[in-house]
Structure 1
């Protein structure tokens, strides 16, 4: 029972194409067929359900939403509501029984306009701004294109009817019907309680046979360009081919269900008709240069949709109309372009129809067009290439312009051969030579320029002298030389006798790098640098004191400038007294003095450093304070030489048992006048000279 209920609901939903709400019918089904009070199964009810399911399943003809998958003909009927300013003319009463209004339509009203910004209260503004989008043009983008603006009636009903008289459509022909629809409701306002447009298209032929298509709910959008195209296929039979198209709004008004309608049209739908040049895969435009002769064969592959398929090739005339080519009724069409064919584009297409319908333009369907273009040759190009200097960009420009360029010459590479202008960066002598360019118009029609010799002038090669260092206050000569030199220019000018001279005298106050720019007679320049090193009086520094333990070494790390000879005194304990930073290993305190001198006679300077040599500390690990006169004291060798040192001794339990500053009198192993018992004790010694703490243990033996 539940499955049968679902079948009936599904078929009923697609079958309802009259102006009664689907919700009313579903209520009727629920109450009289599926409500709990009547759910008791009976043979009569089963028979009624099967009858309903069968009827709904077979009542709809070709209800699927389809588009023509083959070829289409030119529109044989098109209703786009016209175009203009202000309001369009009302539709006839035979088209709609909605009320026409020149203003913002309310429920059950419509208007013909090119925008929703229409006259509201003697002014202009958007219709129903609380819920409608602003639409400023028809679906083609035409701001003057009229559209039918429909404000749905409170109850679902038919809102559009149009009869197409006999003779407009052909007999025994399949057509594609289509219409453009726009949901006026803001997407933000869509949701529960808001009705989206849901339209059923019904096409009825002269025999009363119907073909229907339900769009389903047309979704709301935030995009005012979101026009949607809905289409369906139907076929005419033999005899009277008069048809009527009806549009039924399946949803109620009041809250939503408002729409725009545009471009209703019928086009013949026929078989697939791929066409091409020699084979159907080659369908891009073919090019011929004017004056050439070339032959083409236009081929086709037509599907088997028709009982009696007939063909007709056409050619587009200069007025934009398609002319039948006499006798061109086969699957192939030979086309010749001769040397006398004028420049222009020549388009061809194939028409197909069933039997004698081929004689009626409204019955035909058409392939895509094939184009043969006869193209003019470009003007002969010329090349402009001013001389440049080595290292600069060599630029060759071809005139007039063209679609494509192909250069030849010494500096042409795969990367730049199609450029215009042709730019050769960092040009050199290898780029000097003859260049030509071939230019191409549409269809690769080409012409080649005369040769042009490109010139790259070489930069000057400069040699400079490198003067030796000078003492501050002295002068030296700097000089530069280059072949074909026209001028010299030195920078900075500070300390120079003549910045424009080839060899000026230089007397800078400090070390200075001079840059000379040499210009040749062709205007090419190059630069080179020369440095004048000024040696001031030597400078030296060193920390005034070093500390080491007896037996250790230290580096005398003097810092110097402008000195190149060194002598330390005294030489005692030094590994090399002539080094800038010798290693010192003295056995006693000593003062070393460095004399740093300039090797070119710019003076000398002296600095001194005191090296403090701490005596080595020897710490015994045991003593016996038993009064026998032997080893009665903890005698730490050389500790007395550290008068600021501190020492602390601790028992195993961490109790401090001895402390001292300096060590003029060795420890006798007593604590508060009592001799400590035998055992291990721990010490920490701080020499107070920056050295690490000394720690360890000592054993008292009795």
Structure 2
């Protein structure tokens, strides 16, 4: 490769800058629209390496296997030297190849190509996809990053027209392709240039890269296309046809000062052809009936417009015409004789059905349903709607609900009855034939066992329906235990159900806990619906855990309330040494915390209490 020394390069640069022919740009992309690629290299595809690049394309040496330092290969495989093993970048490629370079210690030229047939004073974009092949964390650690310089030279390879660096591209834990581009503008009379990508990194462990999808194309204004309603695309149903509209191309003047137009048309969005005579900024479309794509070629001069290497292409305006939606297929008119009166139709997948009361217009009766159950006789109309296009059928399908005998209308029931009792079950309709699952044939039956009962009800037209009755037995309550917890009485029931509780047999509550002074009580429990009531006598004896004889009116005495309600009782109070402090026999008991008229100090005292056949032992605290 030809090289110039530093002084020569500076001298040439100054001359070019002064003459206005030198351009320098950092890497960037075209901000507007581009034309079709003038040059494109994706390095082909295949499971074998190669072929080698044409002579002069690179300064690196070709290797038909893994490339060592200073070598390159063309391959769909990158699984060497602990590199990422990944596919090429080209979308949809099968066994796609890319340019694999193991950069040398000295700077080299990765890629060079000459582009001819360009137009002067025209902006172009040079781009490529790059991948750092070395993941971090191997024997190289983070590794030396790749760094690539993009350059555009004149066809003599002596005048640098544009240049830019990628900067350091560090290794990543997973393979990441990144695109880089360089934009420049040709000068007067310039029709051929040289594209270069050079090694801008340092040698050593790392600086290994893959290159793919090198593209060179025009760069022009961003050109949007819209209709008079500012739509960028249009979707039509067959009943919208024929379609007329006016399209307008709007450039943003980011590149071109003047604009020349050529409208194009395509039936598939792939193959395009010029529309003869349509070279204005607007395009009138008349009587369109099929899906059609439109775009406009644009250039700054008429000559450039005719040269595919010099024009750009706008955004696409797509007019989609969806196919006609067929009306639903009727499943037949319905006679109410022994029928539920459900109308139905059939449609393909992706089609929904709306029901109306008129062949056109009318009232929407049911949305998005293949079935419709009207409550009056008559003709109803089903309309098909494509879920994707929202286009509807141009005609509706009529389905008729005819007169006939209706099936008996009955309702299922859920009933309860009390344990040990019986209940009457009723079919609910008179003057019918009946068949119970018990074998009985009357409109009513009497049962005393819980379970599921059914009755088939049949009218004079032999239309029948089945009624289901679920019968649940409410069990009578069973008192499992009654406990005293301080001043609270807690009642526990062993059977399941909803129960009410009472201490007087009249006033019942949902809670099973009563807070009440000691005494002899009768506990009542009944089930919901007055299904059974049980009772049990209970001695609720409250023994205070402490008392404070300080004359404040609160807990001043150790008082065994309710003991007087019992026919026999004994009470003995001892101090901690076993000395009898106070006793009582068959009488109310209350102690003020004194012994022989002497005030006793804070301490624990023990009690022995016998009430009829129950004995209570424990201790309590006197607090001063």
TM-score, length of structure 1 as denominator length? 0.62
1:174 aligns with 123
Whole-angstrom CA distance in 2 between matches of 1:244 and 1:430: 83
2:100 aligns with 149
Counterpart check, 1:162 vs 2:113: yes
**Which secondary structure does the structure 2 equivalent of 1:688 belong to?**
strand
**Which secondary structure does the structure 2 equivalent of 1:163 belong to?**
strand
Shift of 1:159: 2.5
Question: What does 1:63-142 correspond to in 2, within 5 Å?
Answer: 63-116=25-78, 126-128=79-81, 130=82, 132-142=83-93
2:380 aligns with 434
1:122 aligns with none
Q: 1:315 aligns with which of 240, 259, 265?
A: 265
Question: What does 1:40-79 correspond to in 2, within 5 Å?
Answer: 61-79=23-41
8 Å CA contact 1:439, 1:448 repeated in 2? no
Shift of 1:244: 0.9
Shift of 1:542: 10
Whole-angstrom CA distance in 1 between matches of 2:452 and 2:80: 80
Whole-angstrom CA distance in 2 between matches of 1:310 and 1:356: 9
2:441 aligns with 501
Counterpart check, 1:301 vs 2:250: yes
1:9 aligns with none
User: Structure 1 residues 358-367 or 386-395, which shifts more?
Assistant: 386-395
**Which secondary structure does the structure 1 equivalent of 2:167 belong to?**
strand
**Which secondary structure does the structure 2 equivalent of 1:216 belong to?**
coil
**Which secondary structure does the structure 2 equivalent of 1:357 belong to?**
helix
Q: 2:183 aligns with which of 215, 221, 233?
A: 233
1:645 aligns with 572
Alpha carbons of 1:67 and 1:268: their partners in 2 closer, same or farther (altered >3 Å)? same
Shift of 1:258: 0.9
Q: 2:355 aligns with which of 392, 398, 407?
A: 407
Shift of 1:693: 7.3
Shift of 1:359: 1.7
Counterpart check, 1:380 vs 2:300: no
**Which secondary structure does the structure 1 equivalent of 2:233 belong to?**
coil
Whole-angstrom CA distance in 2 between matches of 1:518 and 1:101: 89
Whole-angstrom CA distance in 2 between matches of 1:678 and 1:471: 64
Tell me the alpha carbon deviations over residues 231-273 of structure 1, each in whole angstroms, 9 at most, x when there is no partner. 0101112224221111111223441111111111111111221
Pairwise CA RMSD: 5.7
2:146 aligns with 197
Counterpart check, 1:349 vs 2:300: no
Whole-angstrom CA distance in 1 between matches of 2:538 and 2:390: 91
Shift of 1:429: 4.4
1:272 aligns with 222
2:206 aligns with 256
1:667 aligns with none
Shift of 1:75: 0.8
Alpha carbons of 1:519 and 1:254: their partners in 2 closer, same or farther (altered >3 Å)? farther
8 Å CA contact 2:347, 2:384 repeated in 1? no
**Which secondary structure does the structure 1 equivalent of 2:184 belong to?**
strand
Alpha carbons of 1:269 and 1:451: their partners in 2 closer, same or farther (altered >3 Å)? same
2:591 aligns with none
Alpha carbons of 1:236 and 1:688: their partners in 2 closer, same or farther (altered >3 Å)? same
Tell me the alpha carbon deviations over residues 360-388 of structure 1, each in whole angstroms, 9 at most, x when there is no partner. 12211111121223443222322448979
Counterpart check, 1:216 vs 2:163: no
1:186 aligns with 135
Whole-angstrom CA distance in 2 between matches of 1:610 and 1:175: 105
Alpha carbons of 1:310 and 1:522: their partners in 2 closer, same or farther (altered >3 Å)? same
Size of the alignment, in residue pairs? 542
Whole-angstrom CA distance in 1 between matches of 2:378 and 2:466: 18
Shift of 1:317: 5.9
**Which secondary structure does the structure 2 equivalent of 1:525 belong to?**
strand
Structure exhibiting the larger radius of gyration computed from Cα positions: 1
Counterpart check, 1:688 vs 2:583: no
More helix by share: 1
Shift of 1:605: 12
Shift of 1:205: 1.3
TM-score, length of structure 2 as denominator length? 0.69
Tell me the alpha carbon deviations over residues 499-555 of structure 1, each in whole angstroms, 9 at most, x when there is no partner. 3433687575xx5356233354445332235678999xx999999x99xxxxxxx99
Tell me the alpha carbon deviations over residues 474-522 of structure 1, each in whole angstroms, 9 at most, x when there is no partner. x8875535258555333xxxxxxx43433687575xx535623335444
Whole-angstrom CA distance in 1 between matches of 2:506 and 2:132: 99
Shift of 1:302: 2.3
Whole-angstrom CA distance in 2 between matches of 1:606 and 1:333: 97
1:14 aligns with none
Q: 2:305 aligns with which of 352, 358, 377?
A: 358
Whole-angstrom CA distance in 2 between matches of 1:395 and 1:105: 74
Whole-angstrom CA distance in 2 between matches of 1:364 and 1:579: 98
1:11 aligns with none
Mark the runs of 5 or more structure 1 residues left unpaired by the alignment. Answer: 1-16, 26-47, 117-125, 491-497, 547-553, 562-574, 581-588, 595-603, 615-620, 622-637, 650-655, 665-675, 698-702
1:460 aligns with 409
Q: 1:528 aligns with which of 469, 475, 478?
A: 469
Whole-angstrom CA distance in 2 between matches of 1:239 and 1:462: 94
Alpha carbons of 1:114 and 1:577: their partners in 2 closer, same or farther (altered >3 Å)? closer
Mark the runs of 5 or more structure 2 residues left unpaired by the alignment. Answer: 496-502, 509-518, 524-532, 544-549, 551-563, 586-594, 610-615
Alpha carbons of 1:67 and 1:525: their partners in 2 closer, same or farther (altered >3 Å)? same
